Amino acid sequence: MNNYTIKDITRASGGFAMLAVDQREAMRLMFAAAGAKTPVADSVLTDFKVNAAKILSPYASAVLLDQQFCYRQAVEQNAVAKSCAMIVAADDFIPGNGIPVDNVVIDKKINAQAVKRDGAKALKLLVLWRSDEDAQQRLDMVKEFNELCHSNGLLSIIEPVVRPPRCGDKFDREQAIIDAAKELGDSGADLYKVEMPLYGKGARSDLLTASQRLNGHINMPCSGVDEKLFPRAVRVAMEAGASGFLAGRAVWSSVIGLPDTELMLRDVSAPKLQRLGEIVDEMMAKRR
């Protein structure tokens, strides 16, 4: 059995420049907010995702697709560039309490061998982290996910996202990100996608210090930053020890709902992703 390694989803420099288009109901809300006809049809999401994969994947080391709206279509249309690895989301988002993702479980419909035959090299699992929920349940879910991936020769990518506790109103996001990393950073996943401290805002020195605190527990890509701040955030996170990025909104959110989507993806989003990849290469070169 062919077992993929981290090198299969990195650039030649050894850094990650990965694109995410696996947003689901959150993307539907983005289209609605941009003025699209409501209810926003599934086909609108599918078309955007497949076009984004076609146009942007040549500039990415890997692209993350969801089964619900675009994975099958992307495979059938050969949307992912041969130079770009394919990652498939294996998470099932459960809405509730007025938000699109209130809980997450492993998607039982995922067929790891089938997606591998289609060219996927990794699976991804979103993990919601709340301080008042059972840590063992999270660890058990991640263990099950890792076993699913590794028994089929696929890489395991987890994406912990911190949320306020179910009960009470006290929430320290920065501490929660570190606590999640302590809990899940050595859980056996091949890659840990972490939320960027301070949302990438504030003084560079503060951001670097916060990132260094976090990277004492993990050494993985960063996310969760406004697109204007994202290039700086990638530099700072990598200076602190991260290995690149997995980004979606920072690359393509500004073209959601605009006319001539394909043109906008080429003229607006592609240069952003290309430059981010160059930053990753620059920062990796400094480590040699």
Structural element, H or E, at residue 263? helix 261-264
238 burial via Cβ count (<10 Å: 0-12, 13-18, 19+): buried
Q: Of 190, 250, 198, nearest to 218 (Cα)?
A: 190
User: Position 147: which residue type?
Assistant: E
Positions marked active-site: 193
3-state secondary structure (DSSP) of residue 108: coil
Q: Judging by DSSP bridges, how do beta strands 120-129 and 194-195 pair with one another?
A: unpaired
Handedness of CA 19, 24, 30, 36 (dihedral sign): positive
Handedness of CA 169, 175, 178, 183 (dihedral sign): negative
Residue 172 CB neighbour total at 10 angstroms: 12
CB within 8 Å of 255: residues ≥ 6 apart = 261, 264, 265, 268, 269
Whose structure tokens read 């709206």? 69
7 burial via Cβ count (<10 Å: 0-12, 13-18, 19+): exposed
Largest CA distance in the chain: 51
Tell me the two tokens of residue 224. 């969760």
Whose structure tokens read 């056996």? 188
Q: How far from the centroid of its chain's Cα atoms is residue 236's Cα?
A: 18
